[in-house]
Amino acid sequence: MTSTQKKIPANNVNSDVLAHLNSSEAAAVLGTLLERHKNLHAEAETIATELVASPSIDDIADDVLDAVTSLDIDDLNNRAGPSRYGYTEPSEAAYELLEESIEDFLSDIKRRMQLGLTDAAIAICCGLVKGLNKAKNVDSDVLNWEPDFPEEEAGQAVAEFIKSCPKESRQAVCYRLLAVLSEHVPAWSELFNRAAKENVQKAKPD
């Protein structure tokens, strides 16, 4: 074994290495730890549930605002214009970029609902809508091409939330969502009520 192949002694490694792991490395460490110490599984499950069950509406709103308004003219120019597939209008490119910027939030709503974490799903949906409401008044290179996006997407987010609810509890959960939304984004109450009415009625059994 050459000097470059020698294993670095554990006592020579920075003791703060855990704090500098990326997400995939941290996940690998957790998986190995639970594999070696199965008695920790229940505690890890509890911690994980607490973590995903208590998102902050305001924190999510800030994240959404940043995701939507941080897109710039370079992002737009890279998407719009001629390509081998044809010509993409700037407004079309802007809409695609904006949709992509919030995809993870919509996916997270569905994920929490699938886990049975209804309150967490409500918080994420409300945070998403609140962030979109904040974004509508921001001067943004991309958002200026699609100024109606925040309101339209807010209604779509409510519709997607309702569709992800179990049928047996859909109406009750919908009322809970509307109550939270009305508290945080009262200006769009009519929009939420319309989206909820349309989608709850669609979901009713024949």
DSSP structural state of residue 117: -
Q: Are 80 and 89 in contact (CB under 8 A)?
A: yes
Chain segment 111-151, per-residue pLDDT in tens: 999 988 899 999 999 999 999 999 998 999 999 999 999 99
Nearest to 51 by CA among 33, 68, 69, 26: 26
User: Is residue 83 within 8 Å of 150, Cβ to Cβ?
Assistant: no
Q: Which amino acid is at 42?
A: A
% of the chain surpassing 90 pLDDT: 54
What is the spatial distance between Cα 97 and Cα 76, in angstroms, rounded to a whole number?
8
Which pLDDT score, from 0 to 100, does residue 45 have?
A: 63
150-171 tens-digit pLDDT: 999 999 999 999 988 888 888 8
Give the residue extent of every domain in the chain. Answer: 21-53, 55-203
